[in-house]
Structure 1
Amino acid sequence: MRYKTIYIAGINRSGGSLLSRLFDGHPDILSYPTELGFPTDNNFYEITDSYSGIPQTIPNINFNDNNDFYSILDIPKQKHEYSTTWGKETADPLGVRDNYLEKNFYGNVEAHFDYNKFTGIFDKLAKKAKSIEDLYNARHHAYFTAWDNGKHIKNQSAVVMQDSGGIYLTNIDKFFSEFHQSILIYPLRDLMGYVAAEKVRYARRFFGSRRFAFPQLPNYFVKQFDHYDINAQIKGWLCALTRVRILQEKHGLNQQFIVYSHNILTSYPKDTMKRLSELCNIKYTEDLLRPTIGNKNWLGNSHYGPTKGISNKISANYPKVLTKNEISTIKLFSDNIDMHLSEHKTPVDLLSIPQKYLYEYKRQKKYFNETEKLSLYYALSNATKRRYHIKQVPYYSFFAIIYSIFVRIVHIPRMFKLKYFKAKGKQNYT
């Protein structure tokens, strides 16, 4: 029971979820229905919030000691109890519970997770672990055996993990050395799409619709929303791009560290998935062109609404949610980079981008091997992305109050079902 690990390590809103769902249908691959990265690392500073940019670290373990593997891998020791109070609903740390799949943003779902079976199998296999790879293999096998009575696990040889902050793993070298035939994939999304997606997310929170699949916040109000910090979003994207560029300098364009373009994937899906299959050393099948979750069609997790299959039409939404000034601001940074990434190739070569267009390239390069300094640098550089501008109350604040009340009324049936019929119908917190 040894799985090749394919780790999709990106930043938020970069398209990694789509790739993990495309891998889901492949007969030789197990793909988690939730995000799974490596444990966050409190050794650099006390982490009090979760966002793309905080340090993650593959732990060093002495397997001769009496270890608490649950704490080491951030696995809950008891079955998660979730709240049924409005505004306090929580995601499941394992990503699956009765009729709940974390990444199933749209549509109904039938699912079950036997936590006792999971812990029983994990405990048994973890005792035999001699390496961190053995320990994660124990987790993988226990997880997919406990999910839906093991119907998704057969004789797969690879497992896909995906995390929207994974590129900030502090010891990537350890990932390559400790995990057999490991592959790290970075999804590169265009800056315009990234900022647009982030703006929609912040606007939905402001107007009270949060991450619910319905009702959809009208694009007019998203476009008017200007309380977020666009420069912080641009800085966060450039900061990650610069880190990936330096990683390419170190590891090269090889089959262990792969950068692909989300835009190229959605525009040329067959060519891109064939190339990724080749790089990952897996057999190409047409299943790789159909995004699924638990072998059922996946309708995406875009804030713009559900999508069928691989869609390259989301870019049509950008001018609907971004103002002309915002588009101009983004283009000041993106145009110079895009001109060096115009070739439709996989993997994407970032080495041709001049250093002056990257974010503090020399500083990142200087401290790249000083883990503590660099981890704090990335955490601080990305912390401002969640900053809201404090300004005079805009006219649309009144609509935000009314709309948030409307959203709550619409969700009364869902909250009633969540509280009194926990195993009936869709239970997703989205």
Structure 2
Amino acid sequence: MNKNPIFILGAHKSGTSLLRSLFDGHSELFVIPIEAHFFQHNGYWVDYGIRRQYPENINEKQIINNYIEWIDKSNTTPGGFADSDTRGLWDITKFKEKIKQGTDYSNIKKSIENYIEAMYYSLYNEELPNDIRVVEKSVENAEFAIELKKIFPNAKFVHIIRNPYSNLVSIRKFKSKRGYPFLKRIIASLYNSYYFLEKNQRIITKDYLVIKYEDLVTKPKKIINEISDFLDIAKEEILYKPTVQGQQWHGNSTTGKKFKTISSERLFKWKEEINPLEVRIINKKFKYIIDKYNYNFYENKNKKHLLYPAKQEGLKVYIANRILYNYF
């Protein structure tokens, strides 16, 4: 496997899937079309709220089974609003064949390499070329960036952030399948991503690029050129066409609206959808991020009070969310 991987970092609904889809099809890259969750499958402690996992002591057989189950699920389950839809793209037989040929799963570097090589073999029925760089994104990557840098010293990282107000609204809509959700895990996920955003930049420094989602969708040529220079990859036309395994990527917007290219159409839609509780939480907990990354501090002009229930917010969730706000 090539020793110069690229890792995409960012919270849910921050633009990570869009960014990954823009790399897809580039002649120098193998873009893993799903979130691989390297550390989760190897039993690591994951703090990221929406994917939180306590540590497990697991053996080689369990690691291999975790990998197989995840690829099988990716091959049969719709991607929905969370990730790319890769149903039918994986040859499960070939994945099992290759992953079982791997060795030394107790070594995290070797385990990750075995996993990546098996994914490539499953998708393309051939070995992963040494001159092709790997691109991977998982929402918990920011938490493990320092470890990934230790495992792959030549790795580079692109961390995409989004206006916290907009990001919170988008995640909340993603998690609102059964009414308005309890916000604790959503806020914890944003907190985790922002915390490691700051920490990683201090430690990884020159190999860590931070971009804003708003800049990517409003100034795509400028930002894509900046990313290409940072990663030292050719400026190919495919970088402006979001795809998944060469097929047009229609997005994972919570609206369900399909698109064919980079779009800023809904950039400020959050202002119509945010509620007083969410505004107060962001202003109270993430003012540092708003200031540092030049987002405008938002004062909700809606006359509804903090205590006014959100749409479809049940009584138990209402009480839990107000307790949560007072806890901050």
* TM-score normalised by length of structure 2: 0.74
Partner of 1:291: 242
1:140 aligns with 2:66: no
For structure 2, list consecutive stretches of 5 or more residues without a partner in the other structure.
Answer: 296-312, 320-328
Partner of 2:301: none
Bigger Cα Rg: 1
After TM superposition, give the deviation of residue 132 of structure 1 in Å.
4.3
2-structure distance, mates of 1:107, 1:37:
14
Aligned position for 1:24: 24
Q: CA deviation at 1:56?
A: 8.1
Once the 2 structures are TM-superposed, how far is the Cα of residue 203 of structure 1 from its aligned partner?
2.5
Does structure 2 conserve the Cα–Cα contact (< 8 Å) formed by 1:33 and 1:95?
A: no
Q: Structure 2: how far apart are the matches of 1:250 and 1:261? A: 20
For residue 133 of structure 1, report the CA deviation from its aligned partner. 3.7
Which sections of structure 1, spanning at least 5 residues, go unmatched?
60-66, 81-91, 207-226, 344-386, 394-430
Q: Distance in 2 between matches of 1:110 and 1:294?
A: 12
Give the direction of change, closer, same or farther, for the CA distance of 1:268–1:19 in structure 2 (3 Å limit).
same
In 2: Cα distance, 1:230 partner to 1:73 partner: 34
Residue aligning to 1:319: 271
Letter in 1 for 2:75: R
Match of 1:217 in 2: none
What is the aligned counterpart of 2:213 among 243, 262, 265?
262
1:157-306 counterparts in 2 under 5 A? Answer: 157-169=132-144, 172-206=145-179, 227-229=180-182, 233-234=186-187, 236-252=189-205, 254-255=206-207, 257-305=208-256, 306=258
Contact 2:170 2:254 in 1 (8 A): yes
Structure having the higher helix fraction is 2
SS of structure 2 residue aligned to 1:71: helix
Quote the Cα distance in structure 2 between the aligned partners of 1:21 and 1:191: 22
1:51 maps to what in 2? 50
Q: How many residues align?
A: 300
C-alpha distance in 2 between matches for 1:307 and 1:327: 29
Percent identity between the aligned chains? 18
Paired residues of 1:70 and 1:76 also in contact (CA < 8 A): no
Give, in angstroms, the shift of residue 10 of structure 1: 2.5
How far the C-alpha of 1:245 sits from its partner, in A, is 1.1
Provide, for residues 245-283 of structure 1, a one-character-per-residue CA deviation record: whole Å limited to 9, x for no partner: 12222232x12x222212211111111111111111212
Q: Are residues 142 and 242 of structure 1, via their aligned partners in 2, closer, same or farther at CA, if it must alter by over 3 Å? A: closer
Partner of 1:144, secondary structure, is helix
Specify which of 290, 309, 316 is matched with residue 338 of structure 1.
290
Q: Output one character per residue of 1:85-105: Cα deviation in whole Å (capped at 9) or x when no partner.
A: xxxxxxx5456426x664798
Is 1:34 matched with 2:58?
no
Shift in alpha-carbon separation, 1:107–1:132, aligned structure 2, 3 A: closer
- TM-score normalised to structure 1 length: 0.58
Letter in 2 for 1:147: L
Q: Which runs of 4+ in 1 moved over 6 A?
A: 103-110, 128-131, 152-155
Shift of 1:324: 5.5
CA distance in 2, matches of 1:274, 1:338: 25
Deviation for aligned residue 1:13:
1.9
Shift in Å, 1:143: 1.4
Give, as a single letter, the amino acid of the residue that structure 2 aligns with 1:279.
Answer: F
Change beyond 3 A, Cα 1:138–1:321: same
How much is the aligned-residue C-alpha RMSD, in angstroms? Answer: 4.0
- In the TM superposition, 1:321-400 aligns within 5 A as 321-323=273-275, 326-327=278-279, 330-331=282-283, 337-342=289-294, 390=316
Amino acid at match of 1:271: K
Which secondary structure does the structure 2 equivalent of 1:168 belong to?
A: helix
Structure 1 residues 318 and 297, CA gap change in structure 2 (3 angstroms):
same
Distance 2:93 2:200 in 1: 40
Give how far 1:129 is off.
8.8
User: Once structures 1 and 2 are overlaid, which stretch shifts more, 318-327 or 184-193?
Assistant: 318-327
The equivalent of 2:75 in structure 1 is 97
